[in-house]
């Protein structure tokens, strides 16, 4: 199990409101762990994720797949206002690149 929880996407950041570090896991957005120490915040969220996975399995519920283990095609649909689409198409044409290349460069 320890290896499995290591594959999830963790982040530790400072919470000005709580005056502590907060440990977060992207695959479990409802979970967090507060600690005065950054390392303990990471350890805490890892333990909490482990407990959550154990509970989900005991209840025969679906366990989120780690983002790192998911396959991505490199394509996604995006809906934008027609005027924004037009403006981007103009920018792409003026830059001599495809609309896809222009938008991709803006996202990265």
pTM of the model: 0.76
Distant-in-sequence, close-in-space partners of 95: CB < 8 Å, separation ≥ 6: 102
User: Do 26 and 40 sit in the same domain of this protein?
Assistant: yes
Please state, as a whole number, how many other Cβ atoms lie within 10 Å of the Cβ of residue 16.
7
pLDDT grade for 2, boundaries at 50, 70 and 90: low
- Other C-beta atoms within 10 Å of 45: how many? 26
Claim to verify: residue 45 and residue 97 sit in the same structural domain: no
Range of the domain at 100: 73-107
Average pLDDT of the segment spanning 61-74 = 94
Domain count, the chain: 2
3-class SS of residue 59: coil
Residues 8 and 45 in one domain: yes
Q: What is the pLDDT of residues 44-58, one digit of tens each?
A: 999 999 999 999 999
pLDDT in tens, 14-41: 999 999 999 999 999 999 999 999 999 9
């Amino acid at each position: 199990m320890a290896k499995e929880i290591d594959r999830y996407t963790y982040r530790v950041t400072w919470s000005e409101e709580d005056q502590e570090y907060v440990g977060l896991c992207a695959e479990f957005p409802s979970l967090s762990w507060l600690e005065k120490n950054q390392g303990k915040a990471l350890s805490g969220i890892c333990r909490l994720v482990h407990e959550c996975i154990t509970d989900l399995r005991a209840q025969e519920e679906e366990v989120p797949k780690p983002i790192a283990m998911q396959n991505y095609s490199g394509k996604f649909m995006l809906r934008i206002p027609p005027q924004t689409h037009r403006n981007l198409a103009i920018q792409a044409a003026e830059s001599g690149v495809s609309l896809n290349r222009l938008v991709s460069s803006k996202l990265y």
